[in-house]
Structure 1
Amino acid sequence: MKKNIAILMGGYSKEAEVSLKSAAVVAKHLGQDKYVPYPVRIDRDKWVYVDAKGDEYPVNRNDFSLLLNGEKITFSAVFNAIHGTPGEDGYLQAYFQLIGLPLTGCSMYASALTFNKRDMLSVLKPYGILSAPSYYLNKGEDYKTSDIVAKVGMPCFVKANRSGSSIGTFKVNEESKLVETIEKAFEVDDEILIESFLKGTEVSVGVIGYKGEIKVLPITEIVSENEFFDYEAKYLGKSKEITPARLSSEMTAKINALAERVYRLLKMEGYSRSEFIIVDDTPYLLEMNTTPGLSEASILPQQAKVAGISLSELFESEIERVLNR
């Protein structure tokens, strides 16, 4: 008997449109011989199943069920394709755990921790995981730009702490631009971090749970046409993504081991994609995504393809993992 699988999409952040694309790819490649996909859009004002005609049917939030033509539809599992809040920061993970419905991806705690860049880097620091020198700032706190420059130097990055897809991330090349850039970042989140600019090779590496094992995917080298790997570079074709990355065998082994170690230290499950900057043969961790983009052009599916894993295999393995957990 086929299993009903809800595919979560949308969300409350500016990443919602990216999520819709990821969910469409999941629905397209989910094995129709085993599963019946139900795309479910999560918005602030409604949770609805969206059928092929675009018609919407409300979700019963007490047990996450549907009523279609007088028949109650329940789900065997839920596939999370929401980038940003509430799908990547622990909220939906907690909800589905409370109602006892399997959800793809990591736990509530791991999701919340990795979505908070400052907390994640702080947790990993005692384990020797290197990151850029940084300065933390909360909205409403007094600060001096001279103190920031003394700590992180110039140029630097100003980042919204809890945001993805480089939304709320800005490169600052001179101290006189810091105040206005900080205010822009505060429009996205009331916590920010300001990091030193590290000049080096940027790479992205997927680590996933696959068929009962932790698997490190081929590394992708990021070559942005913009000043950094921002939203345009990620989604509007302003970058080259080279998989496998042009690294020595020694550096490839080092990055693979480091990415897997971070995955295990954070007690990750499901998909993850970590970003590193390599400076003079030393890798620095930038961040981790626990609901990475899943369109055919996204980095994690590109890496899976090079590893010989089809999208159908990638999605089925994750669904079966949570069904058997």
Structure 2
Amino acid sequence: MSDSRWAVVFGGPSPEHEISILTGLQAERVLSGTGAQVTPLYWAATGSWFVVPSGTEAKDYLEGPPPGARPVEVRVGADGGLFVKGRLRSEKLAIDAALSCLHGGVGEGGGFAALFALLGIPATGSSMYASALGMDKLAFGGVMTAAGIPTLPRVALEDDVEPPFVGPYIVKPRFGGSSIGIEIVEDIATARAIGRSSAHLRGGAVVEPFRKDLIDLNISFRTAPVLEVSDLEKPLRRPEGAVYSYDEKYLGGGAGAAAGLSSAPREFPAVVPDAVTERAGELARRVAAVTRLTGVVRVDFLYDEAAEELVVNEVNSVPGAMSLYLWAPRRPAGQVLTDALVEARDARATSAPSGFGSGAALRAAGGIAGKLVGLDGPRL
């Protein structure tokens, strides 16, 4: 039996809260099956934290934390960490590393990474900076373009700036998952109207050309113990479906599909020319290099079958079901998750830059009053 102490974190304030629960419960069972000590940590939609009993089911979370959940206090500071509240005192949780199963929102977008860095708890799901990049579709597209990685043109949806490409358009939340809040429109005026009315788009939206001739392909990469890519998958849309929707991805396969995605309609491995499979692996490795994303990541492509050309569409730093179904032909699920946790646990902390804390700037500053001169506005 392993003496490693892992935590599995799931839930979080996000539109993908329920899917995160399913991923977390799946991951908990996989890691428990390796003999490791596993602490399930539930981040409620309200923002509260709980240690929950092992082996809970999805239905146990319909009304919030399940029976037997114990409140957790988050402390930042010299004696920071996670503390389980007791009747007389709180007990600090001993955790070697935490597996992030947080989809979307502040959890996947860098907030969780920042919080656990402050708590001194190693965690998967990439750094704060890489996580934020993966969640920002506009920034991610810009990085792909700058790196020379093929991608569709993508611009911010603005009231007074016309896209440099013609419609029809696909409109997506700028900050969010890969399938929630997506709309297809014929003209930019409609895109703007939807952008103002949709709860998913009001926080920012991106526009890109909608091409019905392109199909979806997915691949996963993991960065430990070495950079490696999975087999390539082709998700299958319903015949009338225009895009690979949230329902198709998580609910279309019937009972159990949302928990593992393995029952969702798909072609695996994807039946495409060998050159396309090889190209997908090359592009996934390049995405890993330029984004610095770590752990287990999924890269989503759009594929032009006629031209046999691939473009990178999006990246998921915490993919649904941790992409374990993509790794199944190559690696056991327990190994995939354990390797990611060991990578997080053993990652070297970035040292402070030279000169940090030397006091040179403070000694040279003089009085603060002198730095306020001229800041009181124009003289009338």
TM-score, scaled to structure 2:
0.76
Is 1:65 the counterpart of 2:83 in the alignment? yes
Corresponding residue of 1:214: 227
Structure 2 partner of 1:293: 320
1:73–1:64: structure 2 CA closer, same or farther, 3 Å change rule?
Answer: closer
The match for 1:224 among 231, 237, 243 is 237
Structure 1 residues 62-71 or 42-51, which shifts more? 62-71
Corresponding position: 1:321 with 2:343: yes
Pick which of 105-114 and 181-190 moved more: 181-190
Name the counterpart of 2:127: 107
The answer as to 2:50 corresponding to 1:48 is yes
* Kept after mapping to 1: 8 A contact 2:138/2:154: no
Report the secondary structure of 2:236's partner residue. Answer: strand
1:66 maps to a residue whose letter is V
Q: Which residue of 1 aligns with 2:299?
A: 274
TM-score by length of 1: 0.89
* Structure (1 or 2) with the greater strand fraction: 1
Q: Is the 8 A contact 1:78 1:101 kept in 2?
A: yes
Give the number of aligned pairs.
Answer: 312
| Partner of residue 143, structure 1 | 160
Q: Would the aligned equivalents of 1:105 and 1:269 in 2 still touch at CA under 8 Å?
A: yes
Deviates more, 1:129-138 or 1:62-71: 62-71
1:38 aligns with 2:39: yes
The amino acid across from 1:111 in the alignment is S
CA distance in 2, matches of 1:293, 1:175: 31
- Structure 2, gaps ≥5 residues long: 55-65, 76-80, 254-263, 348-380
> Using the alignment, how far apart are the partners of 1:178 and 1:100 within structure 2?
43
The answer as to 2:274 corresponding to 1:249 is yes
Tell me how far 1:188 sits from its aligned partner. 4.1
Matched, 1:156 2:169: yes
> Does residue 244 of structure 2 align to residue 235 of structure 1?
no
**Does residue 305 in structure 1 map to residue 328 in structure 2?**
yes
AA paired with 1:253? E
- Paired residues for 1:59-208 under 5 Å: 59-62=72-75, 63-67=81-85, 71-137=91-157, 142-143=159-160, 147-148=162-163, 151-173=164-186, 177-185=190-198, 187-198=200-211, 199-208=213-222
Q: Deviations over 1:89-133 (max 9, x none)?
A: 111101111222110121110001110010011122122112222
2-structure distance, mates of 1:243, 1:68: 48
Report the CA distance between 1:33 and its aligned residue: 5.7
Counterpart Cα distance in 2 of 1:72 and 1:206:
35
Maintained 8 Å contact 1:22/1:81: yes
What residue is the counterpart of 1:29 in the other structure?
Answer: 30
* SS in structure 2 of the partner of residue 20 of structure 1: helix
* Structure 2 SS opposite 1:94: helix
For residue 285 of structure 1, give the secondary structure of its aligned residue in structure 2.
Answer: strand
Larger Rg: 2
**Worse-matched range after superposition: 103-112 or 47-56:** 47-56
Deviation per residue, 1:60-98 (Å, 9 max, x gap): 211123246765432121110010122211111011112
Q: Please list the CA deviations of residues 234-254 of structure 1 after superposition, one character each: whole Å capped at 9, or x if unmatched.
A: 111176321111111111111
CA shift, 1:134, in A, is 2.6
Superposed CA offset, 1:248-297 (max 9, x none): 111111111011111111112101111111222221111100000117xx
CA shift in 2, pair 1:187/1:29, >3 Å: closer
Query: Partners of 1:35 and 1:49 in 2: how far apart?
Result: 17
Shift of 1:189: 4.4
Alignment check: 8 A CA contact 1:107 1:268 kept: yes
Q: Determine helix, strand or coil for the equivalent of 2:223.
A: strand
Distance in 2 of aligned mates of 1:274 and 1:108: 19
Give 4+ residue runs of structure 1 displaced > 6 Å after superposition: none
What residue number does 2:14 align with?
Answer: 13
Contact 1:136 1:192 in 2 (8 A): yes
Distance 2:73 2:6 in 1: 15
8 A Cα contact 2:144 2:151, kept in partner: no
> What's the secondary structure of 1:306's corresponding residue?
coil
In structure 2, the CA distance between the partners of 1:68 and 1:249, relative to structure 1 (3 Å rule), is farther
The answer as to whether partners of 1:50 and 1:56 remain within 8 angstroms in 2 is yes
After superposition, the CA RMSD in angstroms is 2.2
Separation (CA, whole Å) in 2 of partners of 1:131 and 1:257: 14
